[in-house]
Amino acid sequence: MSLNHASCQAGGATLLRDVSVAFEAGRFAAVLGPNGAGKSSLLSLLSGQRAPSAGQVLLQGQPLARHAAADLATRRALLPQDLSIAFDYTVQEVVELGRYPHRRRPSPHERDIVPRAMQATGVGTLAHRVLNTLSGGERARAQLARVLAQIWEPPPSGESRWLLLDEPTAALDVHHQHAVLRQARIWAHRHGIGVVAVLHDLNLALRYADQAVVVQAGQVLAEGPPATVLDVATVRRVWQVDVHPVRDGEGCLQLLMA
């Protein structure tokens, strides 16, 4: 999946300008940048929520618009920032919505997918709770189970699957932030899913992502391995803070405020 000289405009404002960046199935990419940089707009182009005002969004080498919406829904799932719902659905009912695109061609293992998705995100014990009565973190994990259920199995065609996450750790405590991103990395490496996640925490990106894409003022400023891209000079330029790189007890590169 890639953006090829893509721009995005809304309400007379240019949200993204001439962006070209490629993402690979089987890898975890983190999209980073200050508030208002264009991170969510980039994700909205990848998801098809917005059409580019110029350039292209490509999937399997073809413009996104050429892919049937019903087909895309079986192999590409989006977790948005707004996780609220209008009805009093239980957690299990919300996760079951992720299987709706597969209703005409259900999996031989259909019965097991929703429970396994809830188990993977730690909400199995909340299955019969009404989603709107849960904490923000619990709702986030339930919605994560929904999108995971949506792309749980490879399509018969063998085409790539994609998981698009817009600030998936925003409502989570530290333990669940690491649990969710650890799981996302497993989905990418073990199951070949392309994961693209908007993150704010640079250290989480350094620990879990294979690729970092830094966005500033609607353009891609830097792209590549996180340890290379998130250097002291780039962090100072983009976030206007000074950091000091260190290795933690597991040997992972981390950035400390200088």
pLDDT tens per residue, range 198-211: 999 999 999 999 99
Which pLDDT score, from 0 to 100, does residue 65 have?
87
Which pTM does this prediction carry? 0.94
DSSP reduced 3-state for 193: coil
Nearest to 237 by CA among 220, 216, 210: 216
Residues 141 and 170 in one domain: no
Q: Strands, E, within 105-207: which ranges?
A: 162-166, 194-198
98, 120 in Cβ contact below 8 A? no
The residues with which 224 forms a beta bridge, in sequence order, are 212
Residues 233 and 178 in one domain: yes
Rounded Cα gap, residues 246 and 255, in angstroms: 6
Residues 146 and 251 in one domain: no
Which pLDDT score, from 0 to 100, does residue 174 have?
93
Contacts of 9 (CB under 8 A, 6+ apart): 15, 53
Which pLDDT score, from 0 to 100, does residue 118 have?
96
Q: Where are the alpha helices (DSSP H) in 151-231?
A: 174-191, 202-208, 226-229
Residues 145 and 194 in one domain: no
Domain extent for 205:
2-75+157-257
Residues 69 and 131 in one domain: no
78, 166 in Cβ contact below 8 A? yes
Structure tokens at 27: 């890898």
Structure tokens at 93: 């009912």
Rounded Cα gap, residues 213 and 27, in angstroms: 13
The residues with which 151 forms a beta bridge, in sequence order, are none
Residues 230 and 121 in one domain: no
**Which uninterrupted H or E stretch holds 73?**
none
Nearest to 72 by CA among 102, 97, 50, 51: 102
Rounded Cα gap, residues 117 and 152, in angstroms: 8
Structure tokens at 68: 């049937």
**Which uninterrupted H or E stretch holds 199?**
none
Residues 67 and 51 in one domain: yes
Residues 176 and 71 in one domain: yes
Domain boundary among 154, 171, 189: 154
Residues 57 and 89 in one domain: no
Structure tokens at 31: 């999209």
List, for the chain, all residue ranges whose pLDDT scores fall below the cut of 50.
none
Structure tokens at 191: 């199951």
Residue 98, classified by CB atoms within 10 Å of its CB into exposed (0-12), middle (13-18) or buried (19+), is buried
Which pLDDT score, from 0 to 100, does residue 12 have?
84
Which pLDDT score, from 0 to 100, does residue 156 have?
81
Residues 150 and 162 in one domain: no
